[in-house]
Amino acid sequence: MTHHNIAQRIQDLRTTFDNGQTRDLDWRKTQLSALERMMRDNEAAIAEALKSDLGKPYGEACTAEIDLVLKEAVHARKSLHRWAKPQRTGTPLAILPGQSFVEPTPYGVTLIIGAWNYPFQLVLAPLVGAIAAGNCAIIKPSELAPHSSALLKQLVERYLDSNAYAVIEGEADVAAALLEQHFDLIFYTGGERVGRIVMEAAAKHLTPVILELGGQNACIVDETADLAVAARRIVWGRFLNAGQICVAPDHVYVAASVETRLLEELKNAVTTMFGADPKQSPDYGRIVNPRHAARLQALLSGGRAITGGQVDVDNCYVAPTILTEVAADAPVLREEIFGPILPVLPYHTLEAPLAAINARSPALALYAFTRNQKTADRIIAATRSGSVTINDTVIFMANPNLPFGGVGASGMGSYHGHYSFTAFSHQRAVLKRGFALDAAIRYPPFTKQKLSMLRRVT
């Protein structure tokens, strides 16, 4: 798509927005229903595209992509009247008589840029927020998941109002061309490096941004934890989507006294979930491309694999791998792994993992397994992160009542459920007054006495 075509498409959407069509709540609901139908009618095609792009297991395609978007859309449609209603708020004496409201209003024409690891969820869940809040939107899916990107374009054009919503496919140059244009809000999901590019481009137009980035999510297991349950939940969270998930536990700090037992349980959990040869498991995914598989292969030398370690770069396979004896300066600990490798590091006092966590930029998620409430509270109070989960991993994402987003280098802004609606809404201040009681006290000329009275009543 040329620069001219991109600019024209954005102008078309702006015309729709200016016409006021997207402000109508019933119209928004119709679009949300259409999105729900789109997900239901095309389950097989979506699962197939995800299989082609990421070898994504059918179960994961259903739960983490199709159902998550569906639930978000249904929740938004059913809550829309309540969410969109202007909220009455107090009015101080000096402004009486008058009525004050906070009214959520749409930003206008928005841009949603997605990453490849959850190619449907990461653009369609924000789109639910954009539609519910009354915006137009252009979606730019990731080029690294080409089957999903092509299907998204086809489906969005078929099911949604093309005067308000469009998918523009392409590589980084297309994303860059889009970013040159003036949008009213940009919602970006992806890595930190491009996050900075997006924010810089947005600054030129003073466009607000929501950045959903990544980072290194730590997981602490103390000596009181139920090690079998902890191991299952960690293995599940780490090896979902073959580890290519922004909220996966990146590494585990375990109390040294239970390290050996935890390692054993982690190993058992891998075998129970994916069998003796995970390559044959229908429930285990693939790496997005050989380049990333090779990148992950290089990280394996950072420790000793107690399970896994096998890599087939050409077929994008990296086995679920648990690493022990990891050197403190190993590359596998220096960057977000974004793959199926889990380093396990022993600690002697809780201060050590807390200090290590606080030495890094705040992550998207933090996990801790403990039966000790005081330890849990201490971990929560002593750290910063987009989210914190005690005694589980990743599953918090399935709660639409919790905001999903990062802080610091893991991002800014959040979404899911009502938070998606607020993310795509400007909270407009509305004050309505009549013409009565136009007290002279507020107008010049001011005497000392008049000013003193004014300061007392305002």
Quote the least distance from Cβ 62 to ligand NAD, whole Å: 19
Going by C-alpha positions, the residue among 82, 99, 77, 78 that lies closest to residue 90 is 99
Pick the binder of ligand NAD from 338, 369, 421, 424 (CB under 6 A): 338
Binder of ligand NAD out of 67, 103, 143, 226 (CB under 6 A): 143
Contacts of 218 by beta carbon, 8 Å cutoff, 6+ apart: 249, 250, 251, 252, 253, 353, 356, 357, 363, 366, 367
Our finding on whether 228 is near ligand NAD (CB under 6 A) is: no
Phi-psi region of 139 (alpha: psi -120 to 50; beta: other; left: phi over 0): beta
**Tokens 């389950």 correspond to what residue?**
43
By beta-carbon proximity to ligand NAD, the closer residue of 197 and 356 is 197
What's the Cα-to-Cα distance from 410 to each of 116, 195, 198, 281, 414, rounded to whole Å? 17, 10, 14, 32, 11
**Binding footprint of ligand NAD, residue count (CB under 6 A):** 28
- Single out the catalytic residue among 136, 246, 259, 316: 246
By the rule CB under 6 A, 169 interacts with ligand NAD? no
CB 114 to ligand NAD: min, Å: 6
Residue 400 interacts with ligand NAD (CB under 6 A)?
A: no
Asked about 60 being catalytic, the answer comes back as: no
140 near ligand NAD, rule: CB under 6 A: yes
Residue 203 has which token pair?
């600054």
| Residue window 179-218: x/- pattern of binding to ligand NAD, with contact defined by CB under 6 A | x---------xxx--x--x--------------xxx----
Give counts: helices (H), strands (E), the chain.
17, 18
Residue 45 CB, nearest distance to ligand NAD (Å)?
21
Which residue among 49, 246, 262, 299 contacts ligand NAD (CB under 6 A)?
Answer: 246
Whether 219 is a known active-site residue: answer no
Q: Strand locations in 92-171, DSSP E?
A: 98-106, 109-113, 136-140, 165-167
CA 298 to chain centre: 28
Min dist CB 231 to ligand NAD, Å, is 23
Would you say the C-alpha torsion 106, 107, 113, 115 has a positive or negative sign?
A: negative
Give me the active site residues, please: 212, 246
Binding site for ligand NAD (CB under 6 A): 113-117, 122, 140, 142-144, 172, 175-176, 179, 189-191, 194, 197, 212-214, 246, 336, 338, 364, 406, 411
